[in-house]
Amino acid sequence: MNSIDPVGLANTVLGGALLGGLIALSAVGLSLVLGVMKLVNLMHGQIVVLGAYAAFYLAAFWGISPLLALPIVFVLGFAFTAPVQHFILAPVAKHGEEAGLLTTFALAIILENLFIRFFSGDSRSLDTAFSRETLAIGPINLPTIYLIGFAISLTVCLAVWMLVTRTSFGRSLRASSEDPISAAIVGIHVSRVRWGTFALNGGLASMGGVLIALCFSFTPSSGSEYLLTAFAIIVLGGLGNIMGTFVGGIALGVIQSLGAYFFGDGYRTFVGLVMLIILLAIAPNGILKRRRSL
């Protein structure tokens, strides 16, 4: 290995941090769904991919820039997942915890095949005016899109955090997550909270997909990788901790970029996941300890 180039390393770490924060948006809803519904949502990755395709076709047919399309994608993601919860997941929830898990797994496979059928197996990517631009800060060069995506992800995560900690919906969400039966007896409409959480997750994950697709190309089968990354992020950040998820994203981004820097780009994911295991052995509740703050 050559001697370490400090500027190159700084570039890598900063780029990794920005990218990780950007990807965190795709993970934040997964953590909410896990906390509130006790549901391991295995179709999460496909919802992320769906968001990317939505932005792709909005750009292709109507020329809407992916960044401007974000609110539309949120609405589409929300509208797509709300009926999934109401008509499929809520009815099967009566049959125990495993039922929801298996159902989302089946839906993931169905969605992936529908993507191939309707969108072809080709690799796609999203383009904006900034896609190939970089921003120079002294000797450091960072892709402009990373900075924009990071800022958007941070803003949305803050908004979700406000929603959960400051609003009536958030209060009901926290109570339902802690003890659904008592919450219902107190008068909280728990099934409505679940519905809202799942659909909110749909909107957030779709937007996350747009941000990811602005940086990397995607295919119909990218979903499983997105799911794995999202899991790594929420575990790092502490389950159910929203701003923790954002910080977890940054941490994973830094770890992965260091792995890529020292061992080559092929080791990006490998090093990231190995580091995750080591970190969890040291801090089992994630790097931000207060897991109950939600």
Residues that bind other proteins (CB under 8 A): 168, 171-172, 174-175, 177-179, 181-191, 292-294
The least distance separating other proteins from the CB of residue 189, rounded to whole angstroms, comes to 5
Q: Which is nearer to other proteins, 224 or 291 (CB)?
A: 291
Instruction: Tell me the residue type at 48.
Output: V
In terms of CB distance, is 38 or 292 closer to other proteins? 292
Nearer CB in complex with other proteins: 128/165? 165
Least gap, CB of 240 to other proteins (angstroms): 9
* Closer of 165 and 224 to other proteins (Cβ): 165
Least CB distance to other proteins at residue 88 (A): 20
Closest contact distance (angstroms) between CB of 96 and other proteins is 13
Nearer to other proteins, 10 or 171 (CB): 171
Whole-number Å distance between alpha carbons of 259 and 271:
5
Rounded Cα distance, 64 and 123, in Å: 20
Helix (H) or strand (E) holding 142: strand 140-143
Min dist. Cβ of residue 95 to other proteins (A): 15
Q: Which residues of 232-246 are buried (b: 16+ CB within 10 A; e: fewer)?
A: bbbbbbbbbbbbbbb
Q: Which 8-state DSSP code applies to residue 3?
A: P
CB of 272 to other proteins, least distance (A): 30
Q: Is 138 exposed, middle or buried (0-12, 13-18, 19+ CB in 10 A)?
A: exposed
- DSSP letter at 87 equals I
Q: Both tokens of residue 15?
A: 């780029």
Alpha carbons 87 and 12: distance in angstroms, whole number: 45
Question: What would you report as the CA-atom Rg of the chain, rounded to the nearest whole angstrom?
Answer: 19
User: By C-beta, is 223 or 237 nearer to other proteins?
Assistant: 237
Structural element, H or E, at residue 216? none
